[in-house]
Structure 1
Amino acid sequence: MIAPARRRGARLYQAAQADRVTSGWSTSPLPADQIVRRNWRALVARSREQLVNNSYGKAFQRSVRRNVIGQKGFILQAQVQGADGKPDADANRAIEAAFKTWSKAKNCDVKGVRSFLQIQKTLVNGLPSDGEFMVRHVYGRDAGPWGYGLQILDPVNCPVDFDEDRRPNGRFIRAGIEYTKMGRPVYYYFHTLDVSQSDYSHAGRAFIRVPADQIIHWFEEDLIGQKRGLPWMATALLRMRQLDQFERAALTNARESANKLGVIEWDEGFGPEPESDDDDGEAAEVELSSEEGIYHEMLQGQRLKRVESPYPNGEMAVFSKHNLRGVASGLGAAYNDLANDLEGVNLSSMRHGMQAERDRWKELQESLIESFVSEVFEKWLEYSLVAGKITLGNGAALSPRHLSKYLDAIFHARRWDWMDPSKDVKADADAVDNLFKSRGQVIRERGRNPRDVYREFAEDIQAMKDEGIPPEVIAALITAKSKGGSPSVPAVETDSDETVAGGGNDSA
């Protein structure tokens, strides 16, 4: 007998069926605004708590900061070109030097506390628990000595429950942000306890309204139409807490079992009489203290019953590892790094796991460069050019008329060394020799500015020349490679008629 078409279709998607197994599972999709409004506060509060109390939460936060920002953060490389199409070395050095000066704590932070590197670390530190960050551009006297600075804002102060539908010109407010009718943000609202500072009030609450062009609001958009970020720890949060509670219970049980060897039982007809109870009606306790190397003689009718504890046992490690792998998957982190567990790991599996994780870090780095670092650079450059704060070696200031030309720049993000660096260096050398990569690309992939490397390279050659080292020795030192030969190396002129191989004018 052929089943009706309706019943045949119902079998196609078992997850969509409503039965005893799927009872309680949501069947009505919610828009992004409602999901954020209903869950944001609880998720942020619990994520922040786990960062304080959960070792794995703290390890994930450190891993994000270490891999996305690293020791040096995002490094500027100006790429201004002159009218002849060649790099304008003077302008590039002036912009990079001025940006380095501004990046000091006294200039870039309105509080004068954090350098630009520390600002980057602070913002990334909040992403696991908040899923977003907000930074304000500040100009003028309040910004500090440079006249332009950054103010870090706590996303909690932008009320996620502040919604208003009917605003002039079709505008609306969602999650503390005012939008045009097409969805472009125009104002951000922040709590203030001082009513005198507020410039907007709604439902008895006072707010400070900040134009959207003064705010950098960054988060990963997981849902179409999402207006606020959700904690990166959200999907792993419940499992993290349950695992933490399980480990605490096992530790408490083990401690109590270690302190308590057993209980004393009385045979029938023995033991305290009812009238020997204490005045409060509770039976008197008989305790037997234990010492090392001492045997105790039990009274007649007494026997010792040992208390056995099931936890921790051999299954606990397996159970904990299984759950922690789920936590690592939810966080998007490598299990071995998160759990600090290298047991049973070989070089191939470790490399595969690290490669997948590092691709994720690179993705985040590019997003932060595009949406945060580049915007800060553009605002800084525009203000600094107008204020005449970027000067050449002769003291002349760069003209703000060429702003579009001076905006040509890239930022280098942190890169990583592999576990077998000799093979990676050889692979890069082969790629350069076969024109698969340029020298500048290899240097950038290792997190450095090619021009800095070339400058150091030239300085090394000049220093050896200044010390009287013969040119042929300099050539041998610079072009020294492993046995097996190498392709010819471009030559550079020295003070004498001889040449030194290995100089070249490779550009990034």
Structure 2
Amino acid sequence: MRRRVGISLLGGTPFYDGIGGGRRALAWQVGNPGAVAALAYTQNELRAKSRDLVRRNAWAAAGVEAFVSNAIGTGIKPQSMVADNALRETIHSLWWDWCEDADAAGLTDFYGLQALACRAMLEGGECLVRLRYRRPEDGLAVGLQLQLLEPEHLPATLNSERPGGNVIRAGIEFDKLGRRVAYHLYNAHPGDGSLAPMSGNGGTGSSIDTVRVPAAEIIHLFRPLRPGQIRGEPWLARALVKLNELDQYDDAELVRKKTAAMFAGFITRLSPEDSLMGEGLPDANGAAMAGLEPGTMQILEPGEDVKFSQPADVGASYAEFLRIQFRAVAAAMGITYEMLTGDLTQVNYSSIRAGLLEFRRRCEAIQHNVIVHQLCCPIWRAWMEQAALEGALPLTDFSQKRREYLAAKWIPQGWQWVDPKKEFDAMLTAIRAGLLSRSEAISAFGYDAEDIDREIALDNQRADELGLVFDSDPRHDKPPFAAAAPVPTQPDLQDN
């Protein structure tokens, strides 16, 4: 007897259209794997196809670059919330010195590492950052550097049980409470083989060996999409097939256009053994070719005819078809169609502003919920603790005031608006109405309010010392409050 699931007892009607074995859902074969099982045996293939598309597909590369440039830009910068002004300035000064040496590979600074980690997360689904603590003789501002590792260093198929009750799932070791206690990493990227600098490990190991690294030294950056998820999913996962087929379709259309541009004629004759006027030597296949020169009028012999090739043309539907497909790809990647293609032919101020606002909401959610929380804050804590341990910062009673010292506000790069005048006028109105503070308005552009105020004060002081008056200085728009006219007094109304 066939079992029917999801059928109402009242009339035999399904509760939902998507269930049952009807004609429309007959070929719909579904599965319901868990958050871990869904990526357990598929993420290696997804990652390989994602990297392949980013390498050779211009649209995939443009989409990744667009999101990284908007999410990171020039960097998400910290602003210490320590109340002591002098100590706060000392923290910021030491941080800027350390940023130059943050990269263990020496290729970029801390904010360049942010962009590299974000790109690795988009392309490969995740990024690993290893905290490398250095010796005092290394001469760093703070004895800490960051080593970025691609997710291939963490074997997705490594699953085992360890003595003591810990388990390894997808290369990550968990304790009995489900907490991450260690990562089992390859010495070198498995795709590099002997080309990797660490493949030989000084003669002590091979690239296929794994090293157990405590979880406190590893930062695992990925976007969690489901509760219980332990590994990341490439952001191109939902657009892989469509992008690959679009690439093939566009290449085929290019070849078709190239073929159509070749002006070819085919001459038919009743007597193949007769020579044609202007007939040349036979080609490699034994077929004779007749040339056609500009300005000539070719006279055909009786029984001869010329037919020209007429390849089929897709007409005006080609551009519209690609536009619709690219909108689906952009939606899968979480960016706008204009950012993916650079096509601005069908936008106006209202439409592009609405699209950018929606994208920026999504981008800000990724910035604060993923990048700041998973990447920036752990690095800030490790840096502050190492600076306190070395005595590079005068943090008295650090263990008792740890939360106070670690408090920081992370400021992403500011957004550039479509019409700055309208946006600035709206912001000025909000500030005057008490709905927005100057500090928050300045932070929206990626700057520190204290730095801006300090620069304004220095500019005004220098201008006053040199006797300069600029139209941009609002102090000269109105007279000082001290020179305001006195309030008139009431006249004496008593009779004399």
Contact 1:160 / 1:175 at 8 angstroms: preserved in 2? yes
Structure 1 runs, 4 residues or longer, greater than 6 Å off: 488-491
Instruction: Name the structure 2 match of 1:361.
Output: 363
Q: What secondary structure does 1:456 align onto?
A: helix
Q: What secondary structure does 2:417 align onto?
A: coil
1: CA distance, partners of 2:51 / 2:151: 13
Instruction: Name the structure 2 match of 1:156.
Output: 152
1:210-249 equivalent positions in 2, closer than 5 A: 210-249=213-252
Q: For 1:477, give the aligned amino acid.
A: D
Deviation at 1:334, TM superposition (A): 0.7
Deviation at 1:300, TM superposition (A): 4.9
Instruction: Name the structure 1 match of 2:94.
Output: 98
**Is structure 2 residue 389 aligned with structure 1 residue 383?**
no
Contact 1:75 / 1:411 at 8 angstroms: preserved in 2? yes
Contact 2:120 / 2:150 at 8 angstroms: preserved in 1? no
| Deviation readout 1:310-357 (Å, 9 max, x if unpaired) | 245211111111111111111111112212111221211111111000
Q: What secondary structure does 2:473 align onto?
A: helix
Q: For 1:100, give the aligned amino acid.
A: W
Instruction: Name the structure 2 match of 1:460.
Output: 459
Deviation at 1:154, TM superposition (A): 1.3
Deviation at 1:291, TM superposition (A): 4.1
Q: For 2:271, give the aligned amino acid.
A: F
Q: For 1:358, give the aligned amino acid.
A: R
**Structure 1 stretch 256-265 or stretch 116-125: which is displaced more?**
256-265
* Residues 305 and 144 of structure 1: CA distance in aligned 2, closer, same or farther (over 3 Å): farther
**Is structure 2 residue 449 aligned with structure 1 residue 450?**
yes
Contact 2:167 / 2:173 at 8 angstroms: preserved in 1? yes
2: CA distance, partners of 1:142 / 1:236: 48
**Is structure 2 residue 11 aligned with structure 1 residue 15?**
no
Q: What secondary structure does 2:249 align onto?
A: helix
* Residues 320 and 144 of structure 1: CA distance in aligned 2, closer, same or farther (over 3 Å): farther
**Is structure 2 residue 433 aligned with structure 1 residue 434?**
yes
Q: For 2:66, give the aligned amino acid.
A: S
1: CA distance, partners of 2:328 / 2:132: 42
Contact 1:130 / 1:230 at 8 angstroms: preserved in 2? yes
* Residues 302 and 143 of structure 1: CA distance in aligned 2, closer, same or farther (over 3 Å): farther
Number of equivalent positions: 452
Percent identity of equivalent pairs: 28
* Residues 287 and 476 of structure 1: CA distance in aligned 2, closer, same or farther (over 3 Å): closer
Contact 2:128 / 2:220 at 8 angstroms: preserved in 1? yes
**Structure 1 stretch 296-305 or stretch 46-55: which is displaced more?**
296-305
Deviation at 1:235, TM superposition (A): 0.6
* Residues 28 and 294 of structure 1: CA distance in aligned 2, closer, same or farther (over 3 Å): same
* Residues 283 and 426 of structure 1: CA distance in aligned 2, closer, same or farther (over 3 Å): closer
**Structure 1 stretch 242-251 or stretch 398-407: which is displaced more?**
398-407
Give TM-score, length-normalised by structure 2.
0.84
* Residues 254 and 178 of structure 1: CA distance in aligned 2, closer, same or farther (over 3 Å): same
Q: What secondary structure does 1:247 align onto?
A: helix
Q: 173, 181, 185: which is aligned to 2:176?
A: 181
Contact 1:60 / 1:338 at 8 angstroms: preserved in 2? yes
**Is structure 2 residue 212 aligned with structure 1 residue 209?**
yes
**Is structure 2 residue 375 aligned with structure 1 residue 372?**
yes
Instruction: Name the structure 2 match of 1:109.
Output: 103
1:300-315 equivalent positions in 2, closer than 5 A: 300-315=302-317
Instruction: Name the structure 2 match of 1:171.
Output: 166
Deviation at 1:168, TM superposition (A): 2.4
Contact 2:8 / 2:14 at 8 angstroms: preserved in 1? no
2: CA distance, partners of 1:228 / 1:74: 24
* Residues 339 and 133 of structure 1: CA distance in aligned 2, closer, same or farther (over 3 Å): same
* Residues 291 and 412 of structure 1: CA distance in aligned 2, closer, same or farther (over 3 Å): farther
Instruction: Name the structure 2 match of 1:258.
Output: 261
1:468-479 equivalent positions in 2, closer than 5 A: 468-469=467-468, 477-479=473-475
Contact 2:126 / 2:150 at 8 angstroms: preserved in 1? no
Deviation at 1:188, TM superposition (A): 0.8
Deviation at 1:135, TM superposition (A): 0.2
* Residues 227 and 24 of structure 1: CA distance in aligned 2, closer, same or farther (over 3 Å): farther
1: CA distance, partners of 2:367 / 2:240: 24
**Is structure 2 residue 71 aligned with structure 1 residue 75?**
no
1: CA distance, partners of 2:451 / 2:311: 63
2: CA distance, partners of 1:12 / 1:45: 40
Unaligned runs of 5+ in 2: 1-6, 188-198, 275-283, 485-496
Contact 2:165 / 2:176 at 8 angstroms: preserved in 1? yes
Instruction: Name the structure 2 match of 1:279.
Output: none
2: CA distance, partners of 1:476 / 1:171: 65
1: CA distance, partners of 2:273 / 2:217: 80
Contact 1:382 / 1:400 at 8 angstroms: preserved in 2? no
Instruction: Name the structure 1 match of 2:30.
Output: 27
| Deviation readout 1:102-137 (Å, 9 max, x if unpaired) | 000xx2112222211111111112222212111001
Q: For 1:102, give the aligned amino acid.
A: W
Q: For 2:417, give the aligned amino acid.
A: W
| Deviation readout 1:297-317 (Å, 9 max, x if unpaired) | 445544332222224521111
Deviation at 1:431, TM superposition (A): 1.0
Instruction: Name the structure 1 match of 2:271.
Output: 270
Q: For 2:89, give the aligned amino acid.
A: R
Q: For 2:126, give the aligned amino acid.
A: E
Q: 112, 118, 121: which is aligned to 1:124?
A: 118
* Residues 48 and 292 of structure 1: CA distance in aligned 2, closer, same or farther (over 3 Å): farther
Give TM-score, length-normalised by structure 1.
0.82
Contact 1:197 / 1:208 at 8 angstroms: preserved in 2? no
Contact 2:121 / 2:221 at 8 angstroms: preserved in 1? no
* Residues 303 and 400 of structure 1: CA distance in aligned 2, closer, same or farther (over 3 Å): farther
2: CA distance, partners of 1:415 / 1:452: 15
1: CA distance, partners of 2:92 / 2:360: 28
2: CA distance, partners of 1:413 / 1:69: 7
Deviation at 1:377, TM superposition (A): 1.0
* Residues 424 and 50 of structure 1: CA distance in aligned 2, closer, same or farther (over 3 Å): same
**Structure 1 stretch 21-30 or stretch 350-359: which is displaced more?**
21-30
2: CA distance, partners of 1:420 / 1:366: 26
Q: For 2:316, give the aligned amino acid.
A: G
1: CA distance, partners of 2:170 / 2:91: 39
**Structure 1 stretch 288-297 or stretch 428-437: which is displaced more?**
288-297
* Residues 476 and 324 of structure 1: CA distance in aligned 2, closer, same or farther (over 3 Å): closer
Q: What secondary structure does 1:183 align onto?
A: coil
Contact 1:133 / 1:153 at 8 angstroms: preserved in 2? yes
Deviation at 1:8, TM superposition (A): 4.3
Unaligned runs of 5+ in 1: 82-87, 274-281, 391-396, 482-487, 492-496, 500-508
Contact 1:138 / 1:148 at 8 angstroms: preserved in 2? yes
1: CA distance, partners of 2:59 / 2:411: 29
Instruction: Name the structure 2 match of 1:327.
Output: 329
1: CA distance, partners of 2:122 / 2:313: 32
